[in-house]
Amino acid sequence: MNSETTPHAAELSLHQTLRRVEEYVRREPTKAAAAALGTGLVLNLLPPRLLASVAGNLVTRLLPPVLLGLGVLKAFEICCDKETARKR
């Protein structure tokens, strides 16, 4: 199978999560609207500097390990592709 046509696990997980959210919104529209409204109000009440600071801190702390993990996964994928090509 070609890796371009086969969905990755992260993509499948995202689709599954989106499907569950959509099902919840259809099942409980009032609760979903209230949650969206509450989240919007909380984000509007927080000062923009605080939001930018929190986002910046998360990015600077999480970006290096995420990039390392993605690099390791890509290296593993390349190795598996080479191994599969050798077996053919």
What pTM did the predictor assign? 0.46
Say which residues have a Cβ less than 8 Å from residue 51's Cβ, sequence separation at least 6: 43
Indicate the SS3 state at residue 4: coil
- What is the percent of the chain where pLDDT is above 70? 94
Mean pLDDT in runs of 10 for the chain (88 residues)?
64 90 94 94 89 91 92 89 76
Q: Which of 68, 57, 59, 69 is nearest to 10 (CA)?
A: 69
How far lies 14's CA from each of 11, 22, 29, in Å?
Answer: 5, 12, 21
Predicted pLDDT of residue 83: 74
Cα 70 → chain centroid:
13
